[in-house]
Amino acid sequence: MQPKISIIVPMYKAEKTAARCLESLLTQTCRAIEVVVVDDGSPDGGFCIVEEYAQKDSRIRLFRTENRGQGAARNFGIRQAVGEYIGFVDSDDYIAPRMYEAMYAALLKSGAPLAVCGNRDVFAGGEGRQRELGGVRFGGSGTVDGQKALEWYLNCVYLPLNSACLKLVKKTLFTDGGVWFPEGHRYAEDLVFSGGLFCAAEKVAVVDEPLYFYVHDEGSFTYRYSLKNADDVCRDYEEVCAYAACAGYGGSMDNFALSMQFASLKQLYWAQEKPPKAEARRLAMYWRAARKKGGWKPRFSGHDIPLAHRMKIRVSALGLTRPACFLIRRLRFIPFFKYMT
């Protein structure tokens, strides 16, 4: 059976979660799939686990590359894919059995080259304990034009729009549209990729179901935060602005800019290794100058932006990101504040 959908799974240090992820993929109600697993130079036993699954199910194709980061692994997987449509799943997450059936049906019905779905957040504790903590859904299924989806994305209306994993994409958006993931171990490469997709797609199919389960490790907090990530957010911001300009987007980008400023400075203030003062000052000056030049202001009218994102945008505009980050860090055990980490 020729696969209609290629699911790209980049894998790095996924020995403990690879089996759960693969089980959710191989039990999809849509059978015409292939699973392209790209081992990104992982030092653990994840490759052997996937190899065992591949021996039992020919729909799995396993590749090993040198460690070049998730963006490069995904781009490699796209180039190997034979399906007309491409999906992405991270090796520590899992999906609902009908995820790709529902999204594929939405694409066929709408004629759109891109579909998005909702998600649930799962917090994993010790001894295999898991608990679901909300998630994000849309206001209904249907089809929207690409400019409207881009407006949602730039105004932080729906968090799923940022993630590559909640999308099913027609392969021509890569091969003809020129949208690829940033490489070089880039932080938040999904954000740039998603911005490029919404600029390239004329319309987007929306599946208002929580079909993707995004697993968070309750024991992790600071390991993701660094000066490098803070700088990467600056690059992400600039590249999304370039995509929007090429697409002729005429709406305000103030909310997006303020949210990116918050994200970048949060990386700085929560960095595991304290950055040199000169570097911290440089980054702060970058955002201060950009905010002054752009005259950024919160623009909430006409946008149903979640409260957590409104708070980020507001404190960013007021120049209060540092005290806000201090408060969030102290209160992160409260479920609401988990969404702000």
User: Which of 135-139, 141-145, 207-211 has the least mean pLDDT?
Assistant: 135-139
- pLDDT, tens digit, 9 for 90 and up, residues 60-96: 999 999 999 999 999 999 999 999 999 999 999 999 9
Q: Is residue 222 part of a domain?
A: no
- Is residue 194 in a domain? yes
Tell me how many domains the chain contains.
2
> Within this chain, do residues 132 and 61 fall inside the same structural domain, yes or no?
yes
Q: How far apart are CA 241 and CA 88, in angstroms?
A: 24
Mean pLDDT of 182-196: 95
Verify that 48 and 152 share a domain, yes or no. Answer: yes
Tell whether 131 and 210 lie within a shared domain: yes
- Of 217, 244, 276, which marks where a domain is finished? 217
Q: Give percent above pLDDT 90 in the chain.
A: 81
Count the Cβ atoms, other than its own, within 10 Å of residue 98.
14
Instruction: Say whether both 296 and 188 belong to one domain.
Output: no
Given a contact cutoff of 8 angstroms between Cβ atoms, the answer to whether 195 and 240 are in contact is yes
Residue 285 belongs to a domain: yes
265 and 298 co-located in one domain: yes
Same-domain check for residues 144 and 252: no
CATH of the domain at 90: 3.90.550.10
Calculate mean pLDDT across residues 267-275.
Answer: 91
At residue 160, the pLDDT reads 77
Q: Is 249 within the bounds of a domain?
A: yes
Specify the amino acid at residue 169: V
Give pairs for 41-44: CB < 8 Å, separation 24+.
41/12, 41/65, 41/66, 41/67, 41/68, 42/11, 42/12, 42/13, 42/14, 42/15, 42/67, 43/13, 44/13, 44/14, 44/15
Give the residue from 179, 199, 217 where a domain finishes: 217
Summarize pLDDT for 24-52 with one digit per residue, the tens: 999 999 999 999 999 999 999 999 999 99
pLDDT above 50: residue 222? no
Same domain, 74 and 159: yes
Q: 134 falls in which pLDDT band (50, 70, 90)?
A: low
Q: Are residues 141 and 284 in the same domain?
A: no
Residue 178 falls within a domain, yes or no?
A: yes
pTM: predicted TM-score of the whole model, two decimal places: 0.92
- Are 213 and 78 in a shared domain? yes
**Are 21 and 163 within one domain?**
yes
Residue 135 lies in a domain: yes
Q: What is the pLDDT of residues 47-60, one digit of tens each?
A: 999 999 999 999 99
Among 197, 217, 237, the domain boundary falls at 217
Residue 298 has pLDDT above 80, yes or no: yes
Spatial contact of 96 and 160, defined as CB atoms under 8 Å apart: no
**What are the tokens at 2?**
């020729």
In terms of domains, do 199 and 82 share one?
Answer: yes
Q: Which of the two residues, 280 and 338, has the higher pLDDT score?
A: 280
Q: Which of 18-22, 247-251, 260-264 has the lowest mean pLDDT?
A: 247-251
Q: How confident is the model at residue 142 (pLDDT cuts 50, 70, 90)?
A: very high
Residue 327 is predicted with a pLDDT of 87
**Structural domain boundaries, residue 80:** 5-217
Considering the domain architecture, whether residues 213 and 231 belong to the same structural domain is answered as: no
What is the arithmetic mean of pLDDT over 156-171? Answer: 93
Q: What is the mean pLDDT of residues 139-161?
A: 91
Residue that is written with structure tokens 């993707």 in the block: 212
pLDDT for the residue 272: 87
